[in-house]
Amino acid sequence: MTATHDTTILIRRANDDDAAALRRLAQLDGARLPEGDVLVAEADGEIRAALRVSDSAYVADPFFPSRALVGLLDTRAKAMRRTTISRLDRARTRLSLWSELHHRAAQTGPML
């Protein structure tokens, strides 16, 4: 017989009201609290994990099975990063890389 438990999960941006809960979470995890744009994962109304959008640095409740929550936060953060980097920015980056590769190839000459 398998026991099941329905847990309500909410992924959202952290706000000023979350400061105390985030400090507590960082203390539990023994890590520095990520600063900047942070997403939080709530399980049944309690913040169990937090992740910085820019680089996916996170803190999580070590006494709660939070690996899946961190995975959800990371997936959401990646989607947010993709939408903030415009197509033009991506094209500029690719053009810059190709230009550098072309420049290097022109300097070294053909390889025989």
Q: Is 38 exposed, middle or buried (0-12, 13-18, 19+ CB in 10 A)?
A: buried
Give the pLDDT confidence score for residue 57 in this predicted structure: 94
Q: Is the pLDDT of residue 51 over 80?
A: yes
Give the pLDDT confidence score for residue 110 in this predicted structure: 67
Q: Is the pLDDT of residue 1 over 50?
A: no
Q: Which long-range contacts (CB under 8 A, 24 or more apart) does 99-103 make?
A: none
Cβ proximity of 82 and 74 under 8 Å: no
pLDDT tens sequence across 53-85 = 989 999 999 999 999 999 999 999 999 888 766
Name the residue ranges covered by the structural domains of the chain. Answer: 9-108
96 vs 44, 75, 99, 102, 108, CA distance in Å? 47, 28, 5, 10, 19
Beta bridge partners of 16: none
Mean pLDDT for the chain?
A: 87
pTM of structure:
0.70
pLDDT category at 2 given cuts 50, 70, 90 is very low
Pick the CATH number of 9-108 from 3.40.50.300, 3.40.605.10, 3.40.630.30, 3.60.15.10: 3.40.630.30
- 3-state class of 67 per DSSP? helix
Of 16 and 82, the structure prediction assigns the larger pLDDT to 16
